[in-house]
């Protein structure tokens, strides 16, 4: 049962126990009970949101591990937090760089003149062209002599052997700029193919939630979210991914069974709002339900009608009171959506006094 039904049901129970049934003038119905005293509230028109706050972490998205493909000795490693773009060295082995280029296809084969045509050749052409090489090269799926010349020029500028061939010992293709999370190697380490070298993320800020599986209905792709930033202030974003597999959460106390969670990522509308905070705890407000441009009253204004359903007590100028039957809708922040004959924004309604 959702919170709205519980809240309305609880209010109805309070009203039913509030005193003797009293009939009011008007065509809406008869109240089952009237509280001993009431205050007034105003029917308002606007947006109504049912929200829940959950703990989250401000971080960077798209974490992945880079695996080395060259033998030698590590001679340079970037510091954690550094951002690298196309053409930058991810790290160096024997003073030769392993270079970042943009592309979605891993470098799974050596690319050289004579290889079969393919999209991996095309992404190499595009990367070289972006870096200023191969002005006479056609960007396509073919590894031509012009491609070989562009590769050799790029190798010369990067201190690599000018072979005209490109393999995973020289280049790592990743979809976008990366941020170094941690280094699994250090200067002076002997290194061999297959060893993990770096952990990286994208440079996009995200808010990550390990959401309890029984709260999964709170997370809907593209739904808005509000983030409370440490030290004050808020940021806004939208949900971009919701996990489909529940996992056991880590960190449960001894003897406790950790609750299963699903992973939820929120993309920030404007990352400048959160500065350079990383791994910072934040609070996220998620919307369970959102109703736009509706009439609403405090939940406490609802009356349980003897005929069934709910109504509100309209207090007109001059103190005239009448009961109007209403249909309830969305719920949020202690208010409930209502609709009914003749109801307009600005009308006063009776509210049960505490």
- Give the residue-averaged pLDDT of 343-352: 93
For residue 7, pLDDT over 50 is answered with: no
Q: What is the pTM of this model?
A: 0.68
Q: How far apart are CA 303 and CA 309, in angstroms?
A: 8
- Looking at per-residue confidence, does 327 or 318 come out higher? 327
DSSP designation for 316 = -
Q: Give the chain's largest Cα–Cα span.
A: 96
**Strand pairing class (96-102; 171-174):** parallel
Task: Name which of 94, 90, 93 is nearest 107 in CA terms.
Answer: 90
Residue 144 CB-density burial (10 A; 0-12 exposed, 13-18 middle, 19+ buried): middle
The token pair that represents 181 in the structure block: 């999370």
- Helix, strand, coil tally for the chain in percent (to 5): 15, 45, 40
pLDDT at 25 over 60: no
Tokens 């030769």 appear where? 96
pLDDT value at position 255? 55
The per-residue pLDDT for range 148-160, each reduced to its tens digit, is 999 999 999 999 9
Which of the listed ranges 18-32, 98-112, 279-293, 340-354 does the model predict with the highest average pLDDT? 98-112
Give the confidence band of 113 by pLDDT, cuts at 50, 70, 90. very high
What is the tens place of the pLDDT at every residue in 287-311?
888 889 999 999 999 999 998 999 9
Reply yes or no on whether the pLDDT at 284 is more than 80: yes
Q: 354 pLDDT band (50/70/90 cuts)? A: low
Residue 331: closest CA among 47, 30, 112: 47
C-alpha to C-alpha distance for 83 and 202, rounded to whole angstroms = 9
């Amino acid at each position: 049962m959702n919170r709205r039904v519980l809240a309305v049901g609880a209010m109805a129970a309070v009203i039913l126990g509030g005193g003797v049934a009293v009939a009011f003038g008007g065509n809406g119905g008869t109240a089952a009970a009237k509280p001993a005293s009431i205050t007034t509230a105003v029917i308002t028109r606007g947006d109504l949101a049912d929200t829940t706050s959950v703990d989250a972490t401000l971080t960077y998205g798209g974490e992945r591990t880079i695996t080395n493909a060259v033998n030698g000795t590590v001679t340079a490693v970037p510091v954690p937090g550094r951002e690298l773009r196309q053409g930058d060295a991810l790290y160096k082995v024997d003073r030769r760089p392993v270079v970042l280029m943009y592309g979605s296809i891993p470098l799974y084969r050596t690319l050289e003149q004579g290889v079969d045509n393919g999209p991996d050749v095309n992404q190499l052409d595009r990367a070289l062209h972006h870096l200023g090489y191969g002005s006479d090269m056609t960007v396509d799926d073919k590894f031509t002599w012009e491609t070989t010349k562009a590769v050799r020029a790029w190798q010369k500028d990067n201190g690599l052997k000018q072979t005209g061939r490109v393999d995973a010992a020289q280049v790592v293709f990743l979809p976008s700029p990366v941020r170094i999370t941690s280094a699994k190697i250090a200067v002076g380490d002997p290194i061999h193919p297959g060893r993990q070298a770096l952990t990286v993320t994208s440079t996009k800020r995200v808010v990550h939630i390990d959401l309890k599986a029984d709260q999964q209905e709170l997370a809907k792709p593209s739904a808005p979210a509000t983030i409370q930033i440490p030290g004050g202030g808020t940021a806004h974003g939208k949900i971009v991914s919701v996990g489909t597999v529940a996992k056991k959460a880590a960190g449960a106390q001894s003897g406790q069974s950790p609750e299963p969670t699903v992973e939820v990522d929120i993309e920030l509308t404007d990352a400048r709002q959160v500065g350079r905070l990383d791994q910072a705890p934040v609070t996220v407000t998620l919307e369970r339900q959102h109703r736009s441009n509706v009439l609403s009253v405090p939940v406490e204004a609802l009356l349980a009608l003897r005929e069934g359903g709910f109504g509100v007590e309209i207090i007109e100028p001059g103190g005239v009171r009448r009961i109007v039957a209403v249909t309830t809708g969305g719920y949020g922040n202690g208010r409930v959506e209502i609709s009914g004959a003749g109801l307009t924004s600005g009308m006063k309604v009776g509210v049960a006094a505490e």
